[in-house]
Amino acid sequence: MPRRQNTAAQRAREVQHETGTKYTAALREASKGAARVGTFSLQELLTECTTLPQWTGVHPEVDAEWAPKMFDSALLGGPVPYSAVLRLAGDLAGNGMSAEMRLESRKDFDSLVVACGARRFEFLLYQDDWVCELCRIPGCDRAPVSARCIPYCAGEHLAERSEAELVRMARDWGSDRREDCSRTPAAVDPGEEGDQLISAAIAQGVYAEVSEALLVSCYEERHMIEDVYWGETAMEVSHAMDREQLRMNKVAVAAAKRLQEAAGGHCACGAPLFPGAQRGVPTRFCSSTCAAAGER
């Protein structure tokens, strides 16, 4: 399969040859349109990685002794570390070799972002083997709360998810935590990630639904505890659920206070906001009536 033409890297080389411009400067201009190159498969990217010779240019960000070994990728708009591509291939192994990918953005020799379906990954181009999954919202440069179960950043995008999404993420996260603590079921801890879900639920006014999904997936349906566990273990799990419910209530109240203080303490209608979780009422509204009006 021939290499694709008219990529940012190739255009940069053409400009360098014609005008004498430094390669990095030419690449900076050419890369402005790199994200328009289109899609490619994981197999095509691996073919480049395993067949192209090592790039021999001078890395503008790091000294030669620290520079990663790179190849000049037509698909990714310029030189990229071999090891980063191989690590990405490992992360996407479950998607298959035909997984469709695209270059979202590139910042010269600093970093680039590639997307595969809804998943987004950042490469650092000045060191080996550094690939980090990002929040799934295009353009966001923050890490997700949990790439596997809660794939949105805690800053704002998690709080924008729907009730159904938050409940699903709570179930997935709780199930993972429960599996981790399968030998000591009363020791399950939803952790900071669970608290981020609670904060997002408060922002959307769905605390009851999300906290219940998180609690049950971490432990068990309350009426099933004695059927699933026995004796002392059943009692310990029941007490652990009670303690966790109280703790989540405190987390919810604290999250509501923070969000309401950020909103100036008043609803859009001018009424004061009250701390605490109100069922069906996002924390920036004083009542379900104002929430309904504000969503229109």
41-64 pLDDT tens trace: 999 999 999 999 999 999 999 999
Write the DSSP string, 9-35.
HHHHHHHHHHH---HHHHHHHHGGGGG
Evaluated on CA atoms 260, 264, 269, 271, the torsion sign reads: positive
User: For residues 45 and 73, is the Cβ–Cβ distance under 8 A?
Assistant: yes
Distance CA 135, CA 124 (A): 16
Averaged pLDDT score across all residues of the chain: 85
Higher pLDDT, 71 or 29: 71
Tell whether the model's pLDDT for residue 159 goes beyond 60.
yes
User: Residue 81 belongs to what H/E stretch?
Assistant: strand 78-81
Nearest to 254 by CA among 215, 189, 207: 207
Paired tokens of 242 = 């009670």
Residue whose pair of structure tokens reads 């790439």 in the numeric block? 147
- Lowest average pLDDT, out of 14-23, 31-40, 133-142, 274-283, goes to 14-23
- Secondary structure of 28-80 in HEC code, one letter for each residue: HHHHHHHHHCCEEEHHHHHHHHHHCCECCCCCCCCCCCCCCCEEEECCCCEEE
Residue 5's pLDDT band (cuts 50, 70, 90): very low
13-34 pLDDT tens trace: 554 554 455 555 555 554 444 4
Determine what percent of the chain is predicted with pLDDT higher than 90: 67
169-228 pLDDT tens trace: 999 999 999 999 888 999 998 999 999 999 999 988 899 999 999 999 999 999 999 999
CA angle 9, 114, 201 (to 5 degrees): 155
Tell whether the model's pLDDT for residue 77 goes beyond 80.
yes
Higher pLDDT, 28 or 118: 118
For the chain, the maximum distance between any two Cα atoms, rounded to a whole number of angstroms, is 81
Residue 3's pLDDT band (cuts 50, 70, 90): very low
Distance CA 85, CA 48 (A): 10
DSSP 8-state assignment for residue 162:
-
CA distances from 149 to 167, 181, 193, 244 (A): 11, 17, 10, 20
Write the DSSP string, 84-146.
HHHHHHHHTGGG-TT-EEEEEEEETTTEEEEEETTEEEEEETTSTT-EEEE-SSTT--SPPSB
User: For residues 74 and 4, is the Cβ–Cβ distance under 8 A?
Assistant: yes
Compute the radius of gyration of the chain from its Cα atoms: 25
At 266, is the secondary structure helix, strand, or coil?
strand
Q: Is 57 exposed, middle or buried (0-12, 13-18, 19+ CB in 10 A)?
A: middle
Determine what percent of the chain is predicted with pLDDT higher than 70: 81
Distance CA 221, CA 209 (A): 14
DSSP 8-state assignment for residue 187:
G
